[in-house]
Amino acid sequence: MKEDLLTRTIIGLAIDVHKALGPGLLESAYKECLFYKIENAGFLVEKEKMMSVTFEDVKIDCGYRIDILVENNLVLELKSVEKLADIHLAQTLTYMKLGGFKFGLLINFNVLLLKDGIKRVINGY
């Protein structure tokens, strides 16, 4: 599936979750529900995917985990915060860089309209 179509489809599923739950819940609730929706839509999806850091040719587990990875291609970093901050974007880019992923979505569910809480992220490596 082309990245743009995949991204739009996942955004649509995230909007469905947000419409059903509304803002104000913990990030974990949105993560579980979105994972469920993506999996039921037939996509290859992983939750809490561990990412290691390579240091001096050794892979080291430092506790980095991607919230959701779709089709081994699209990184989803989910938040439920008052406002997205630069550190949230940096976190998303770090996961993308560590895994060699080009596309990501940073999604803040704590907004009235979910479209206002979505940032598309592209990593140029």
Query: What is the residue whose two structure tokens read 């060699």?
Result: 100
Model confidence at 63, in pLDDT bands (50, 70, 90)?
confident
> What percentage of the chain reaches a pLDDT higher than 70?
98
The tokens of 80 are what?
A: 């439920």
d(CA 106, CA 85): 11
d(CA 77, CA 20): 20
- What pLDDT does residue 74 have? 97
Residue 54 buriedness (CB in 10 A; 0-12 / 13-18 / 19+) = exposed
pLDDT at 79 over 80: yes
So where are the chain's domains? 3-122
The one-letter code for the residue type at 90 is A
Of the listed ranges 26-35, 37-46, 55-64, the least confidently predicted one is: 55-64
DSSP 114: G
More confident residue, 55 or 108: 108
